[in-house]
Structure 1
Amino acid sequence: MDLLSEEMLYQKSSQELTALLYEGLIMNLEEAIECIKTKNFMDTNKKIQKANDILERLGVGLKYEAGPIAEQLDTLYNYMANLLIEANLRKDPQIIQNVLKLVQPIAEAWNEILKKQVHTQSNVTKKVLAYENNIMRKNF
């Protein structure tokens, strides 16, 4: 994940920030696995803690009025956080791999939704601009 300036972060939509959180989560999980393989347990601990922090932020950002999927995601985030605590205690890369298997499809689905949303917004913007151009021609 590229480093983003604070200004760039403020320009991101909440949906784009969620995508960045998923990306950071996956990156930290993959790096934690590598740290375990190299027996770098201090960095393993840091990476797993960062991953848990991201899971907490994802949970805080849920909008429960959106329906039952928010509650299900909250339960899933809590489950993954508990798995990561266990993985950190045991320094078990397989547990982290299991969390990755849960998170990756969610992140992929989120990114697909973002792509479709951008495409839809682009079409709406084109229609609005065409309408405004038509109005401007009629008025002058």
Structure 2
Amino acid sequence: MARDVQITFDCADPAALAAFWAEALGYRVQGPPPGFTSWDEALDAMGVPAERRNDASAVVDPEGTGPRLFFQRVPEGKQAKNRVHLDVRAAPGLDGADRMAALEAEADRLVALGARRVERHEPAPPLGAGHIVMTDPEGNEFCLD
């Protein structure tokens, strides 16, 4: 039986990181529970104090096919390289110069949103199509593939 998957990020600022990834992936910040018109209204009803309202956030695929991304506040900062990372498929079906141009354009867009470019890997046929290593605003590595 296939399972749904949620990808969880430990972070310092769940709302900001959720906003970055929503924009990066074409996702949206998950809306409040049914019966509430806003998260503030829902969190008021749940008795969550103001200082705890950025403890978590989530983004979802508006078409319902991609995994939910969940962001949770943790006290410690990032310590080392990620053992798991996302590959953002920014140039499906393209190769060579067209692929790298599409990846460069996406890298520029994401840098404007707060990402950082780490390094470019040139195409190395037959198996290496080329990719760009990036980090999100909190330093989590991901690849534009």
TM value normalised by structure 2? 0.29
The answer to which structure has the higher helix fraction is 1
User: For the pair shown, which has the larger CA radius of gyration, 1 or 2?
Assistant: 1
TM value normalised by structure 1? 0.29
The answer to which structure has the higher strand fraction is 2
